[in-house]
Amino acid sequence: MHSALLFIDMLDISQFSGQAKWTAFLADIADARSEPNAEKLSENCWLIPLESDAVYLSELVHAATSHHLAHRILFLDREPEWVGTWKMARNRRRGETLD
């Protein structure tokens, strides 16, 4: 396996209890690890390389489970082809160049 795509379900976030769960989850993962190799693709979605960041994946899943947030994991055999395109678009928005 090359990487995992982790998606945290945010369907109930609009309700007060859902917002409290999400805020607590974010606080927990802020302490999980300072700078992982994982790419945060959106507010609730991460692409995590398993060779270097399997522990980070388990920390995110543990935090989501602890706060009763539904989540999905898609394991990928190789780096998705769209990752390079996504990084270039993200860097253009930030005014950066792709390394």
Farthest-apart Cα atoms in the chain, separation? 41
Question: Average pLDDT over the chain, rounded to whole?
Answer: 82
Length, in residues, of the chain: 99
Asked whether 97 and 26 are in contact (CB, 8 A), the reply is no
Query: What confidence tens digit (pLDDT) does each residue in 16-46 have?
Result: 667 888 889 999 988 776 556 888 888 899 9
Which residues, listed in sequence order, are joined to residue 49 by a DSSP beta bridge? 3
DSSP β-ladder status, 45-49 and 39-42: antiparallel
**Token pair listed for 53:** 């960041």
CA 16 to chain centre: 23
**Token pair listed for 13:** 């976030």
More confident residue, 77 or 94: 77
Report the pLDDT averaged over residues 54-62.
92
